Every structure is written in C-alpha cells, then in structure tokens.
Amino acid sequence: MGRCFSSLASGAPNGAARRVGSVGAMADFTVEMQIQISSSDTGVVQLLVHPSWAPLGAARFKELVECGFYNNARWHRVIAGFIAQVGIAADPEVYKKWGYNPIKDDPVTKSNIRGTVSYAKRNEPDARSCQIFVNYTDNSHSLDNTGFAPFAEVISGMEVIDKLQVSENIDQGMFKEMGNAYLDRECPGKLSEILEAKIV
C-alpha cells in the first residue's frame, strides 16, 4: 500500500477536485479482479477500461489499481437489481489519501447499462474519488442525467458480480474511519472482497 501514499504527493489539498495528469493518449486497458465471493466461493472479473468514455475517471482508476488501493476492499453496498459498490480502502489511512481528493467530472458519454462501471459520488459537482460501482441492470434513466459517467465495462465474470453478498446498511462513516477492522467487528464474513486488482 506504500505506493498509494506517494502517488498523491503533488495532488490538490483534501476536498479540492484535482485534475489527473495527461490522459489524452491513454489506450484501453484491462483490470482483473480476484474476488472472494463468500467463504467457500471465489471468482475472477475482468473490466475493460475505456479512457475515451471518461478520461479523468479512467486515469484515476488506473492510479488506484496500480497502487493496490482495491486489494482487500470489500463490496460494502450491494443492492440486488441496482448496483454493486466498492472502494473504501481496507486501511483507513489509505482511504484518507484518496477518498478526500476528488477529481473533476467527466461528461456522461455512455449510458449506465448492465455491466458498466461508474464512480459513486455525492450529488454535487467534482465529487468522484475512489468508490466505484457496477450496474446490475439498465440504470440509464436514473443515473445518466445526474452525472454518473461510465468509464469501464465488465467483459468477463459478470456472473461473479451477480453472486456478491448483498449488503445495504453498512455505516460508511465508521467504515471509512476504521477500515476493514470495522467490518470484521460488525459483520464478519458477510461481505464479498476483492483479494487483488491488477492491470493485465
């Protein structure tokens, strides 16, 4: 996780939206996630990231994956028929470095259909940071016009996403403050986890 601390050394102050470096020429890339669905079930998911869809979001996601941010992150908001959300770091100190350093918005160029990946955010401009979600269904009618810009799509393993443990009532404030220690105390074994995310 050390790289996750150094990557933002020249970033904007906490709370100020930051522009990610030069992203114009970035090619599509694939991210593979090894997922512990439950104590007895694992799976592999591949995401194809399209910088042309949302260049700033794609560049931030690449930074996060490269520094190991999503390793051991748990799917803390999984709502059947809507979305599966992840992106609060296992280590609260790592979350502080990224979760409070948002990036500028991208325009919405693709719809939030099943299998697309967007950033979760507050209902205000330039609020994306590190939490992402996979759409379980066509959510374009409710998400496209509110600024949720897809930057990737699931190209393999959507059946794994479909099997993630349902979780709708996690106290995100406590989770951000304590990391996985909070989940281990309050709901041990009840959330699916990304064991490793890497660019392949």
Tens digit of pLDDT at every position of the chain (200 positions) = 567 866 564 445 455 565 554 445 799 999 999 999 999 999 999 999 999 999 999 999 999 999 999 999 999 999 999 999 999 999 999 999 999 999 999 999 999 999 999 999 999 999 999 999 999 999 999 999 999 999 999 999 999 999 999 998 999 999 999 999 999 999 999 999 999 999 99
DSSP 3-state of 133 = strand
pTM for the predicted model, two decimal places = 0.91
Q: List helix spans (H) across 144-200.
A: 158-162, 172-178, 180-186
DSSP 3-state of 170 = coil
Q: Evaluate whether 106 touches 151 at the Cβ level (below 8 Å).
A: yes
